[in-house]
């Protein structure tokens, strides 16, 4: 396959950056999207051009590092997968593909397609933890909790923190991410100790980082590679209101 790529190039955080066109040839339909970029980067290196910088790590859809907006959609045209799981068979010969970084004030571009997502880390540091010693893996059914609740917590915990929700949201809101992290702990007995403080601190940090507010468009849910549901955002709102009403924190 031969493709035309329009890629965001930006030397550093201060640079203004712009879209640049590249032609890439000899792309196999069996390649992953990142492998296709590897091929382009080899061609660029041979020509003495600075290769395109992009984030990637596990390349199996579980680390949450890859972060590209492909043709206007985070993680590309297919649902429920990350960029690394997207294959070139999803594209046609001669296609023009635009590739941009996540766009959000709270995710500043470091270089090309690499953005700084430490704002997510700071939100987790603010409250996404448990202080009780949870010990080793408990025996099956040792924790008195309904299977349905355990499943809900597990579904929320599937969030890999890639930031596609922020990238997809027209308001660059981080509500889906924060709601998944709050939910996975609020649903389980181990998370009860800091339940109120957690939601207050994480929401405060989210606002401090400059993410937008949720207007319930549902774009985050539509683009989330792990299918995190909007019901988590409703739960976050419930947790937040109840904490604000009843917690001792002034």
Partner 1 sequence: MSLTGIFLILFLVEHLIGNLLLLKSDGGAAFNEFAHFMKHNPLIMVGEVVLFLGFIFHIIDGIMLVRSNNNARPVKYAVQNKSKVTSWTSKLMGPFGIILLIFLIIHLYDFFRYKYFAPVANMEGTDISDLAQLVYIKFTDPLYVAFYVISMLVVGFHIHHGFQSAFQTLGLNHKKYTPFIKALGFCFSVVITVGMSLIPLIIYYKHITLH
Q: Could you tell me how many residues of this chain bind partner 1 (CB under 8 A)?
A: 44
* Residue 213 lies near partner 1 (rule: CB under 8 A): yes
CB of 197: closest distance to partner 1 in angstroms? Answer: 18
DSSP string, the chain: --EEEEEEE-SSSSS--EEEEEEE----TTSBHHHHHHHHHHHHHHTTPPPPP---SSSSSSS-----EETTEET-SSTT--GGG-BGGGS-TT-EEEEE---BTTB-EEETTEE--HHHHHHHHHH----S---SPPPTT-S---HHHHHHHHHHHT-----HHHHHSTT-B-HHHHHHHHHHHHTSGGGSTTHHHHHHHHHHHHHHTT-B------HHHHH-TT---THHHHHHHHHHHHHHHH-S--
Residue 126 or residue 214: which is nearer to partner 1 going by CB? 214
CB of 231: closest distance to partner 1 in angstroms? Answer: 5
Residue 59 or residue 122: which is nearer to partner 1 going by CB? 122
Give me Rg for the CA atoms of the chain.
20
CA–CA gap between residue 76 and residue 61 (Å, rounded): 13
- Dihedrals phi, psi of 146, to nearest 5 degrees: -70, 145
- Dihedrals phi, psi of 70, to nearest 5 degrees: -105, 120
Stretch that binds partner 1, among 29-37, 41-49, 195-203, 208-216 (CB under 8 A): 208-216
The correct pick among 13, 60, 72, 92 for binding partner 1 (CB under 8 A) is 72
Letters for 74-113 (x = contact with partner 1 by CB under 8 A, - = none) are: ------------------------x-x--xxxx--x----
What residues from 117 to 176 belong to the interface with partner 1 (CB under 8 A)? 168, 170-173
Residue 138 or residue 210: which is nearer to partner 1 going by CB? 210
Residue 8 or residue 120: which is nearer to partner 1 going by CB? 8
Letters for 39-58 (x = contact with partner 1 by CB under 8 A, - = none) are: --------------------
* Residue 214 lies near partner 1 (rule: CB under 8 A): yes
Stretch that binds partner 1, among 28-36, 116-124, 187-195, 220-228 (CB under 8 A): 220-228
CB of 184: closest distance to partner 1 in angstroms? Answer: 17
Residues lying near partner 1 in the complex (CB under 8 A) are found at: 6, 8, 17, 19, 69, 71-73, 98, 100, 103-106, 109, 168, 170-173, 210-219, 221-223, 230-231, 233-241
């Amino acid at each position: 396959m031969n493709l035309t790529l329009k890629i965001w190039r930006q030397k550093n955080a201060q640079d203004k950056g712009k879209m640049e066109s590249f032609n890439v040839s000899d792309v196999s339909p069996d390649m992953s999207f990142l492998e296709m970029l590897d091929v382009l980067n080899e061609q660029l290196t041979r020509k003495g051009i600075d290769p395109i910088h992009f984030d990637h790590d596990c390349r199996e859809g579980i680390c949450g590092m890859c972060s590209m907006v492909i043709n206007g959609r985070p993680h590309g045209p297919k649902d429920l997968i990350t960029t690394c799981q997207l294959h070139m068979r999803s594209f046609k010969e001669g296609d023009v593909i635009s590739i941009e970084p996540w766009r959000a004030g709270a995710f500043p571009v470091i270089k090309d397609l690499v953005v700084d997502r430490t704002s997510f880390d700071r939100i987790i540091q603010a409250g996404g933890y448990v202080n009780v010693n949870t010990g080793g893996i408990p025996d099956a059914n040792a924790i008195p909790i309904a299977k349905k609740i355990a499943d809900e917590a597990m579904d929320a915990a599937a969030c890999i923190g890639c930031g596609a929700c922020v990238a997809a949201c027209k308001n660059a809101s981080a509500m889906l991410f924060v709601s998944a992290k709050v939910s996975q702990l609020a649903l389980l007995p181990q998370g009860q100790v800091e339940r109120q403080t957690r939601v207050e601190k994480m929401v405060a940090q989210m606002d401090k980082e400059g993410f937008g507010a949720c207007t319930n468009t549902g774009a985050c849910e539509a683009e989330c590679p792990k299918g995190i549901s909007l019901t988590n955002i409703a739960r976050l709102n419930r947790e937040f209101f109840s904490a604000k009403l009843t917690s001792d924190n002034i």
